[in-house]
Amino acid sequence: MDHAAARPYRSSRAAAPLSGHVAVPGDKSISHRALMFGALAIGETRITGLLTGEDVLRTAGAMRALGAEVTRDPDGIWRVAGRGIGGLTEPADVLDMGNSGTAARLLCGILATHPLFAVMTGDASLRSRPMRRVTEPLAATGARFATRAGGRLPLAIEGAADALPLDYRVPVPSAQVKSAVLLAGLNAPGITRVEEPEATRDHSENMLRHFGATVTVETAGHGRIITLVGQPELRAADVVVPGDPSSAAFPMVAALLVPGSRLTIPAVGLNPLRTGLFTTLLEMGADIVVQNHRLEGGEPVGDLVASHGALRAVDVPPERAPSMIDEYPILAVAAALANGTTRMRGLKELRVKESDRLAATAALLSVNGVKVEIEGDDLIVHGTGGAPAGGGTVVTHMDHRIAMAALVLGLVTQAPVTADDAGFIETSFPDFIGLMNGVGASLAAV
């Protein structure tokens, strides 16, 4: 990490209950896909509520570089004039995906079946993350990939001129790998088929249908088989992006933990394949109520009201991991204050996130006086049932979710908690610190 550019922040015990409304940013997964599918559609797509974090802006830049027209109106509505399936043009320069693994992996799928040459890179964190999990299946389309050792960025792609459809079984549950294969199938003739061992978030399937593609889903045991009819004509379709449930997790858990708190988080996406954290917190006895449940753009949405109360330890089953893979750091913070020992099972996928998020989550708690162990792919947190000691400096490893989890923990510890770099929070949750301080938190630059 470049310490000259680091932005450390300190979180101190909340002096009063948190109260009010926190409007969380638009869902990141849906924002990436809205820009990509808009660029692949015929006509102009209008997107309301797009997340304007750094990750999504990188996707907007990449789609512009590939020939789509992407603009933002003064009222915040984004417009994408698409090129149609197969209509993207060769970029004149390297595509820099910043910190976004989702953008990089999904774009690999799109580029694999377009007959053009492109080079993709990212920041230091993204350049350390494995891309082989998408490049290996995508190579069967006829695309050629060249990467650094270990399948890492920078990565060069020569898309297939006569792409072949894929029939692929995803070895580890991953919405990114599934989506990359489906996106490759858009510009290949015939049927693309993906089998996943456990159901993962299905935003790609929902949005492909929204734009006019023929997608079918069959249940197979715990998992699903998804088929896509290739070379559809995608038609421009307006998208309303709901609030990101992964972002809502942080103010929600803060409200559950800070005595006397009650926060309302409006218009949050409640896709059942994304709500594993809500399920787990309710099992722990959390006071979370959903109001005004509705459907927007094929996605369920509701207003969340979270209130403080005692939590009890739970055993989180491994099959729940895909529906809450980004929420384990903040769940671990909730578990640190629960009564009893919480075990989160089957977290192998956390080792290849922005950081080794499993080790980073354990270290976040340990340095602040919470007893924690890693056994295999399980995280075990021994709850204090009260206020942990705190006082530690958390190494965030350029991971926005570790940084936000650390700052929430500091609201309820005896001594303040420091995040060594909170700058990366902007990639997914712009103005997180301002919004939290606005409802009563005390987060300050060091």
Catalytic residues: 326
Whole-angstrom CA distances from 16 to 255, 258, 261, 390 are 11, 8, 8, 18
Cα separation, 17 vs 307, in Å, equals 10
Sign of CA dihedral 58, 61, 66, 71: positive
CA separation, residue 392 to residues 192, 328, 367, 369 (Å): 50, 20, 5, 8
Tokens of 235: 């038609």
Q: Cβ distance 18 to 259 under 8 Å?
A: no
Can you tell me whether residue 292 is helix, strand or coil? strand
CB 265 within 8 A of CB 248: yes
DSSP state of 27: P
Beta bridge partners of 167: 193
Q: How far apart are CA 425 and CA 101, in angstroms?
A: 15
Distance CA 410, CA 403 (A): 11
Taking the alpha carbons of 382, 387, 389, 392 in that order, is the dihedral positive or negative? positive
Which token pair is 31? 């924002």
Contact 416, 410 (CB under 8 A): yes
- Residues linked to residue 46 through DSSP beta bridges, in sequence order: 79
Helix orientation angle between 54-65 and 101-112, rounded to the nearest 10 degrees:
20
